[in-house]
Chain A
């Protein structure tokens, strides 16, 4: 059961909207952009959430724009720590081994016939 008040509770504590200088700068993200990104992420936002998210994304992206002070044209992107320190094994051998038991997995599913996951119809006619 979902308590709506719990789900919608704020606060945004880690990055609060950056006020002042950054907010005065350009608004990179429009409400239309927020809608499009929400669709890509399979999220459905209320109109109030869209406005809030637009404000938050713009303030964070204005802060992120500080990275452009750095010339990184000759710097290779770093995706993983192991690129720098090594110490990671080669991929493990591709050998068949027992996996999770199907019955224990299917019992977690919201809807199942025991062998497969059941979902609503994919295409609407």
Chain B
């Protein structure tokens, strides 16, 4: 198993202490990441574009603020990377697709703008599955990302580049997106922390849409506190996203050290069934026992509709995708097929040439389930089951404060590996998609390693807007890992 030689980066608070004490500068931290990218990313392939000049200019501006004794933003001088489905004015935004090759959007995503306003140093844009459709990052039109823990394995997906960049010391924190598990599962595979905020907590303005009722933006970091810090920066109401919530944003770092004494943690039987790798089960169960020892009350619970989550997800996500991806038509931006003589052939040839196989397949499925005669049987039915799945969680949260499960049924699998076990694939999705459909929050935190040294993640799911609680549990797990 070949892994990278990498150096852990300092945490945000360590960086800030060093900036104030003059031990290092924001430019120094940025250069350190840029040099890690030069050294490691030929093999990992996590960055699709690097904005070296922009990053160094921003770092220099922060260093001048520090020298002038100004108050520092929450992520001032912190080198970060951004998944390539989020826009930054003038920077490439491919969404991992050939159809957006060369596109330079004229606007910046709200989450990125908030990071910039808080002083973050944006290093570049990160690789992902095309239009965030995939769970191994092998659907990127720009080549797969490799897992820094073992280079012959996938980093997970679709935010594989975002997870791998943090794991390989090529960014202190990154932004990813999660529609069915695309933050939590790669966080688990790469051994980093990944947060799925409640739907509506972070504005989606500037996110290239996959499935709008499911898409969410969230942070990756090497530790829980840094992830909580970044979440606090990007969260909040935005008039540019009609689904963004007006709920006030708490200080997510404030209660991290409160421990779990008195917290009721639910363990759903449905998440420990067939297909769960024995080593993952062992690590997750050991972690749950440690939480019990730390004073949490562990309660067995049931989420009875869980087995219906994956089919429900694939109907709703593809239906929304077929609608969202209709905008890629070769007219306003992106790829236009050459030599076309009519408008209709321009649409068809541009989409045929620009989209990869997985994207086409999801567009076709989504178009089918929305088409006349099938809408009620598939789309409406899935929306009804979505409510049942959501109600499962609402019922559970009457009895527990958070729910703990494995994030993924196995550690990272090998690149190009074709699994013929439908049950394993079924379970691969089920641990993450249900929370996506219900809109609740979640986090994946490292809770152990396999005998081969591959990271294993614990998923902690919380109520709508219950981020503070799940981050507190995650911090306890992290402390116990030592």
Residues of A within 8 A of B (CB): 2-3, 6-16, 18-20, 22, 29, 33-34, 37-38, 40-45, 49, 53, 56-57, 60-61, 63-64, 66-70, 72, 75-82, 84-85, 87-89, 91-92, 100-101, 104-105, 107-111, 117, 119-122, 124
Contact = CB atoms under 8 A, between A and B. Distances in A.
A7 to B, nearest CB: 6
Contact of B336 (A3, A8, A63, A111): A111
B272 interface: no
Contacts of B384: 70, 72, 75-78
A71 to B, nearest CB: 10
Interface string B339-367: 01111111111011111111011011101
Nearest to A50: B364
A57 B368 contact: yes
B322 interface: yes
B443 interface: no
B134 A13 contact: yes
Given A78-B383, A87-B464, A101-B106, 16 more contacts: A2-B98, A6-B356, A7-B98, A9-B357, A11-B416, A13-B135, A15-B425, A37-B364, A42-B344, A78-B387, A89-B246, A105-B106, A110-B331, A119-B343, A120-B346, A122-B342
A43 B368 CA distance: 13
A101 B365 CA distance: 36
A107 B245 CA distance: 34
Contacts of A57: 361, 364-365, 368
8 contacts: A14-B358, A40-B371, A49-B360, A57-B364, A76-B384, A82-B245, A84-B439, A87-B465
A82 B212 CA distance: 13
The interface size bin for chain B is 35 or more
A95 to B, nearest CB: 10
B47 interface: no
Contact of B331 (A66, A80, A119): A119
Contacts of A80: 213, 243
Contacts of A69: 308
B356 A7 contact: yes
Contacts of A14: 133-135, 180, 358, 429
B423 to A, nearest CB: 10
A72 B329 contact: no
A79 to B, nearest CB: 6
Nearest to B89: A104
A12 B361 contact: yes
Contacts of B352: 43-45
Contacts of B361: 12, 53, 56-57
Given A44-B352, A67-B311, A7 B332 contact: no
Nearest to A56: B361
A108 B333 contact: yes
Contacts of B133: 14
A6 B98 contact: yes
Nearest 4 interchain pairs by C-beta: A81-B439, A77-B383, A110-B336, A104-B106
Contacts of A33: 368
A64 B311 contact: yes
Contacts of A122: 342-343
A45 B106 contact: no
B139 to A, nearest CB: 7
A68 B386 contact: no
Nearest to B201: A87
A43 B342 contact: no
Contacts of A22: 422
Interface in B390-407: 390, 394
A87 B246 contact: yes
B141 to A, nearest CB: 5
A29 to B, nearest CB: 7
B298 to A, nearest CB: 26
B366 to A, nearest CB: 8
B222 to A, nearest CB: 26
Contacts of B67: none
Contacts of A16: 418-420, 422, 425
A109 B332 contact: yes
B133 to A, nearest CB: 7
B367 A108 contact: no
